[in-house]
Amino acid sequence: MAPRVVIVGLASDFGCQVQMTNIEDDLLDVLGLIDLQYWQLASSGHMPEEYDIAIVEGAVTTQEHVELLKRLRKTAAVVMTIGSCADTGGILALANCVDPDVAYAAVYGKGPEVARGRRAPGPVDAVIHVDYRVPGCPIDTDEFINVLSRALQGLADRTPVDPLCAICKTKENVCFLDRGEVCLGLVTRTGCGAKCPTLNRPCTGCRGLAPDANLEAARAAFVSKGLDPTELERRFDLYNAAREVTR
């Protein structure tokens, strides 16, 4: 029997679920390997009571999300996250940098009463254990297929650990730091094939902090290139503001 799969969205723009539809030629092959019982973006039905794999997009921002994740973890043998919001808290976690009452008042005209049940935006693994993850904003479709394949085969997750610079050098890209431009490839997890630098766009850190990243060395590199070292973490907060709040 094919593994029963549900795809659930928390707080996000659903961009990674939309990206899944861009698998194009491989989409039918992927769907042929699973029993897709619920896809929040594409289904109007209700999530079933039983399933084997739960794929989660989005950051945790409410107590309702917490309760949903606990149900998913209790039911599913495998939990897989997709995208920066689910993996690191993503852009939504920038809300952790301000007083939430002030932020809600600015947007809604009301403060705490609007925010009942809300919590500081954070990653899924701040609430439950995650078995497999596909980082990035949005996800890379090839990486998604590879990670899902590993999950279906029961193989261990192999989320890359090296900083992006390791791959960027093999692409023979001219270093943005040498141009006097801020790039976060020194500290960001690789696995995307250095797509942004290869397309002449500096890395913005959407894949999260590489476990092997050396922040002190990165700050020193910024200084040596005439860049403000405080820009390293300020820019990194774009996708990773929750890392000190929830981990």
Q: What is the pLDDT of residues 70-104, one digit of tens each?
A: 999 999 999 999 999 999 999 999 988 888 778 77
Q: Are 142 and 185 within one domain?
A: no
Q: Are 217 and 169 within 8 A, CB to CB?
A: no
Going by C-alpha positions, the residue among 60, 6, 70, 9 that lies closest to residue 38 is 6
Q: What is the pLDDT of residues 220-233, one digit of tens each?
A: 999 999 999 999 98
Q: Are 240 and 211 within one domain?
A: yes
**Which of residues 96, 125, 153 is at a domain's end?**
153
Domain that residue 139 falls in = 4-153
What is the tally of structural domains in the chain?
Answer: 2
Give the separation between CA 247 and CA 116, rounded to whole angstroms. Answer: 23
Element of type H or E holding 4: strand 4-9
95, 96, 98, 101 alpha-carbon torsion, rounded to 10° = 80
Q: Are 81 and 199 within one domain?
A: no
Element of type H or E holding 143: helix 141-153
pTM of the model: 0.91
Specify the amino acid at residue 201.
R
3-state helix, strand, coil in the chain (%, to 5): 45, 15, 40
Q: Are 2 and 51 within 8 A, CB to CB?
A: no
Q: Are 17 and 99 within one domain?
A: yes
Whole-Å CA distances, 201 to 82, 90, 125: 23, 19, 30
**So what's the pLDDT on residue 112?**
67
Give the separation between CA 158 and CA 11, rounded to whole angstroms. Answer: 26
**So what's the pLDDT on residue 1?**
81
Tell me, yes or no, whether 106 lies in a domain: yes
Residue 42, CB-side half-sphere exposure with 13 Å CA sphere: 13
**So what's the pLDDT on residue 179?**
93
Residue 35, SS3 per DSSP: strand
Give the separation between CA 124 and CA 84, rounded to whole angstroms. Answer: 10
Residues (pLDDT < 70) of the chain are 24-25, 27-28, 31, 111-112, 115, 244-247
In total, the chain counts a number of residues equal to 247
CA 92 from chain centre, in angstroms, equals 11
Q: Are 47 and 134 within one domain?
A: yes
**So what's the pLDDT on residue 247?**
39
CA 114 from chain centre, in angstroms, equals 27
**So what's the pLDDT on residue 245?**
47
Give the separation between CA 72 and CA 173, rounded to whole angstroms. Answer: 42
Q: Are 113 and 194 within one domain?
A: no
Tell me, yes or no, whether 160 lies in a domain: no
Q: Are 136 and 48 within one domain?
A: yes
Q: Which two tokens mark 125?
A: 């693994």
